[in-house]
Amino acid sequence: MSRITRVAPPPLRRTASADTIALYWTLERSRLIQMLKRLHLDNFRCLTNFEIKPAPVSVLVGPNGVGKSALFDALLALQELATAGTTVDQSFHPLSRTRWDTRNVQRLELDAQEPGGPFFQYLLNISHEPARRRVFIERERLTADGNLLYEQAGGEVRLFGDEVSPTPRISFPFDSRRSFLPVLEPRADNQLITAFKRWLAGMTLFALRPAEFEWSSMSETEGVHFTGRNFVSWYRSVVQESPDVAERVRTSVQPAIPGLTNLRLTRMGLDSRMLSLECEVAGSRFTLYINELSDGQRCLLFLYTVLHALTREATLLIFDEPDNFVAEQEIQPWLSQVRDAMSQANRGTLMVISHHPEVIDYLAADQALSLSRPGGGPTRVSEVHFDREKGMSASQWIKMECADGQ
Partner 1 sequence: MASSQARIWVWCEDREHEAFARRLLKERFGLDARHLTFKIAPKGQGAASAWVLRKYQEEVLPTARRARHQQLLGFLVLVDGDNVGWKRRIEQFEQAGGNEPRSERIAICAPTWSIETWVLWLCGEEVTESVSLKDRLPPDKFRGKLDDAIAKWDPPRDKEADQVPSLSAGRVELQRLPLN
Contacts to partner 1 by CB under 8 A: 255, 329, 332-334, 336-337, 344, 361-362, 364-368, 384-391, 393-394, 397
Dihedral sign from CA coordinates of 89, 93, 98, 102 = positive
Indicate the SS3 state at residue 42. Answer: strand
Other C-beta atoms lying within 10 Å of the C-beta of residue 161: 18
Distance of closest approach, residue 365 Cβ to partner 1, in angstroms? 4
Other C-beta atoms lying within 10 Å of the C-beta of residue 154: 11
Cβ pair 234, 306 in contact under 8 A: no
Distance of closest approach, residue 388 Cβ to partner 1, in angstroms? 4
Distance of closest approach, residue 389 Cβ to partner 1, in angstroms? 4
Cβ partners under 8 Å of residue 165, min gap 6: none
Distance of closest approach, residue 119 Cβ to partner 1, in angstroms? 19
**Whole-number Å distance between alpha carbons of 35 and 142:** 16
**Whole-number Å distance between alpha carbons of 331 and 343:** 18
Cβ pair 321, 351 in contact under 8 A: no
Q: Please, where are the H alpha helices in 202-294?
A: 231-241, 244-253
Distance of closest approach, residue 398 Cβ to partner 1, in angstroms? 10
Nearer to partner 1, 127 or 396 (CB): 396
Task: Name the phi and psi angles at 385, rounded to 5.
Answer: -105, 100
Nearer to partner 1, 203 or 364 (CB): 364
Nearer to partner 1, 272 or 337 (CB): 337
Distance of closest approach, residue 336 Cβ to partner 1, in angstroms? 6
Nearer to partner 1, 166 or 391 (CB): 391
CA separation (Å) from 20 to 30, 149, 163, 326, 383? Answer: 15, 21, 20, 44, 44
Nearer to partner 1, 121 or 252 (CB): 252
Strands (E), 145-213: 147-153, 156-159, 170-173, 203-206
Distance of closest approach, residue 87 Cβ to partner 1, in angstroms? 42
**Whole-number Å distance between alpha carbons of 115 and 21:** 25
Distance of closest approach, residue 360 Cβ to partner 1, in angstroms? 9
Nearer to partner 1, 117 or 182 (CB): 117
Nearer to partner 1, 220 or 323 (CB): 323
**Whole-number Å distance between alpha carbons of 190 and 212:** 40
Nearer to partner 1, 232 or 364 (CB): 364
Distance of closest approach, residue 364 Cβ to partner 1, in angstroms? 4
Q: Among residues 271, 270, 253, which one has the least CA distance to residue 261?
A: 253
Alpha carbon 87 to its chain centroid, in Å, reads 19
Indicate the SS3 state at residue 28. Answer: helix
Nearer to partner 1, 164 or 365 (CB): 365
